[in-house]
Amino acid sequence: MMGWVDIARTCAAAACAALVATTAMAQDPVRIERIQAAFDTWTAEHAAKGTGAIAYEGDVIGTIDSGIDPATPIELASLSKAITGVCVRVLFEEGTLHYNDSTVTLLDRDPPATVGQLMTHSAGFADDVTQRAMPGWLGDPTHRAAEAADMLQGADGPPNTFIYNNANYALLALMIEKVTGTTYEEACRSRVLDPLGITTAKPSPQSGAFLSWGGWSMTSEDYARFHAHWFGATVPTGFDPRGQPNVDLGEDVFYGTGTLFRSYNRRYNFWHHGSLCILDGLEVGAFAVTWEAKWTLVVGYDKCLPWDALFALDAALTEAVYGAIE
């Protein structure tokens, strides 16, 4: 059975294998049509419907309609973590929050875990307590970060080792609220989303309880604007991800700022899948990728699918963008 780190490496390998020397131009209508066709084929193969957006060097240049209107907000699921991670980075730049600040000093909570450890899922929390609680929180958008933190029984895994756990980003939300004196939503919206003119972002009516780790919703166009900017070439989160907390997953794959990344062609590729798989409640997925600060693709779909299907999505979209055009 594949672990989370193995899955991350596999996604990264799929994303890079097809990155050939082809020059992809922003207004290439054939390439945009290929992206739509690739997503149409993938959704049809999995009996799903979906939507998405395409950006080039920060500008949205197209949308994807595979049965869901592009104006419909999508469930971001774990793509929400990137909003929290970027928010932490902005607060660090303000001097408001520091990577070595801990849960003990800011929240009076044991066991001690630093901001940097929480950002990189290396605080030693192995038991993801949110997974048991999330089904009961569906349908109420009240952020449940405090409840999730209260459920933690202590660090039950090895410290400074990557263990993906939603509770890390619940604790980060509480630390953000402590240093800003406002809600997590307001603190991060005003610093991360509003400056980009993003207007559709809100706690999901269904999953908003998971906001800081999995409960944001917005249109795919707006998330493409977020992803293209913050993981582009003009800000440290995009051009210097190794200069902020990150953890090495091996094979040149890293996790930091709420996303996976790897170096490529003197720049970086950033990507992440998100899924909410709550039986009889909410089954959705999303995927976002920015390659080399150039192309950004964001898609959302109405199914919870296995990892081999997500690898296939990664590969199909990569081929659509970077494959040679005859």
Query: In angstroms, what CA-CA distances link 310 with 2, 39, 295, 316, 317?
Result: 14, 12, 19, 10, 11
pLDDT in tens, 186-214: 999 999 999 999 999 999 999 999 999 99
pLDDT at 111: 84
Which residues lie below 8 Å from residue 50, measured CB to CB, with a gap of 6+? 39, 43, 64, 66, 67, 68, 299, 300, 301, 302
pLDDT (mean) for 13-37: 64
Q: Specify the pLDDT at position 75.
A: 98
Write down the pLDDT at residue 28.
77
- Over residues 174-196, the mean pLDDT reads 98
Antiparallel, parallel or unpaired: β 247-250 and 216-218: unpaired
* pTM for the full predicted model: 0.94
Which of residues 141 and 158 earns the better pLDDT score? 141
What is the tens place of the pLDDT at every residue in 152-170?
Answer: 987 788 888 999 999 999 9
Contact between 92 and 175 (Cβ < 8 Å): no
pLDDT of residue 18: 42
The answer to whether residue 276 scores a pLDDT higher than 60 is: yes
Q: What percent of the chain has pLDDT over 70?
A: 91
Q: What is the rounded CA–CA span in Å between residue 326 and residue 323?
A: 9
231 C-beta neighbours (distance < 10 Å), count:
27
List 202's β-bridge partners, or say none.
217
